[in-house]
Amino acid sequence: MIAARVPVIVYVTPPGGRAASAGLFITEAAHIAVMAPNTNIGSAHAVSVGLPGIGGGEPDPVMMDKVTNDAVALIRGMAESRKRNVDWVEKAVRESANVTAKDALELNVIDLIAPDLATLLQQVNGRTVILGSGAEVTLATADVAPHVEGMNFIEDFLHKLSDPTVAAILMLIGINGMIFELASPGAILPGVVGGIALLLALFGLGMVPVNYAGLLFIMLAFILFVADIKMPTHGILTAGGIISLLLGAMILLSSATPYFAINWPAILTAIAATAAFFAFAIGKAARAQRRRVTTGREAMIGSVGVAKTPLGPDGMVYVHGEYWEAVAEDGSLEPGQRVQVVAMNGLRLLVRKV
């Protein structure tokens, strides 16, 4: 904006809006700064975002001083070049000063107050601004038709990914998908979806201040979930995983900055869905372990068949659609009598009368 080859007007709107933090810098960089009534500007003190200490603990005070002094020099230079109040903008950076649109106009922090865009275009018509190249340009905006240039599809998509709530949910989807693929190799789709979701989540989390201890808690939660599926512990590991997942979500994006707040109802719903999925999977695994074996040597024990020849004690029985050599535990059996398999020795069955 400082080096722009055309005049730039920044309009702080709608009423109730604000130009805080980086918004102050954007407004002061404009050739013409305009605010709508009932808006405010200021509060641009440097915070810990992107500085050492973001993962916990206090930021380095020397680094904070460097960042603050650099920000003050930048905004004083911009205000001076636009012939605005350099002392107040410095105060906004050092002390987080904040004023209303009316006060900003009186303090020479902005150039105009306009209730709407049409009024703004009328007010700036005929004003002369000096570009970064030194060229003077006179605005002719009285009869122009505004054209709104919003974000394109890619910009809008990446902007949505930077939402901490979206990034956190994508991470849950991604790890779920990867675990499903590892548990059932060859399913392919869960692995593909999970991998894409996980990479998108990492991109989104890279745009916001993340506490890596929270990330470790989330990883521990899924390790506990998988462990409970592989070796059921009556839900103890799952309970630990749910607690770890909640702690991870709380710590992961624990910034005090309101712009990075997460939507707790959405996150809790996603965590509940994840917990329900693993509880279902663990229940299925437990029932499968309790189910009677239906194949192999173990499946024969307890099976009921029919004696096909006299057993005294050796003979033939018919079990599971097959003829077997058998020995009668009772000593002797008649053909046609129902028998139950008691044991299996090689390919011979030990049976008793039912």
Q: pLDDT for 64-117, tens place per residue?
A: 888 899 999 999 999 999 999 999 999 999 999 999 999 999 999 999 999 999
Q: Is the dihedral of CA 251, 253, 259, 265 positive or negative?
A: negative
- Of the residues 43, 48, 66, 353, which is catalytic? 66
* Comma-separated ranges of CATH 3.90.226.10 domains in the chain: 9-138
Record the pTM. 0.55
pLDDT given at position 26: 96
d(CA 307, CA 328): 10
Q: Is 66 a catalytic residue?
A: yes
* Comma-separated ranges of CATH 2.40.50.140 domains in the chain: 296-353
* CATH code at 296-353: 2.40.50.140
Options 3.30.360.10, 3.40.50.300, 2.40.10.10, 3.90.226.10; CATH for 9-138 is 3.90.226.10
pLDDT given at position 97: 92
Q: What is the mean pLDDT of residues 240-261?
A: 72
pLDDT given at position 282: 62
d(CA 86, CA 78): 8
Q: Is 83 a catalytic residue?
A: no
Write out pLDDT tens, residues 188-200.
888 898 889 989 9
Q: What is the mean pLDDT of residues 47-51?
A: 54
Tokens at 187, concatenated:
């399913």
> How many degrees, rounded to 5, is the angle at CA 115 between CA 109 and CA 120?
75
- Of the residues 21, 43, 48, 255, which is catalytic? 21
Judged by DSSP in three states, 68 sits in: helix
pLDDT given at position 50: 46
Q: Are 335 and 353 in contact (CB under 8 A)?
A: no
Q: Are 135 and 112 in contact (CB under 8 A)?
A: no
Write out pLDDT tens, residues 295-340.
566 667 888 899 989 888 888 999 888 899 988 887 788 888 899 8
pLDDT given at position 264: 75
Question: Which one, of 162, 157, 130, lies nearest residue 6 by Cα?
Answer: 130
Please report, as a single letter, which amino acid is at residue 110: I
pLDDT over 70 at 234, yes or no: no
Dihedral, CA of residue 243, residue 247, residue 250 and residue 255, to nearest 10: 180
pLDDT over 50 at 54, yes or no: no
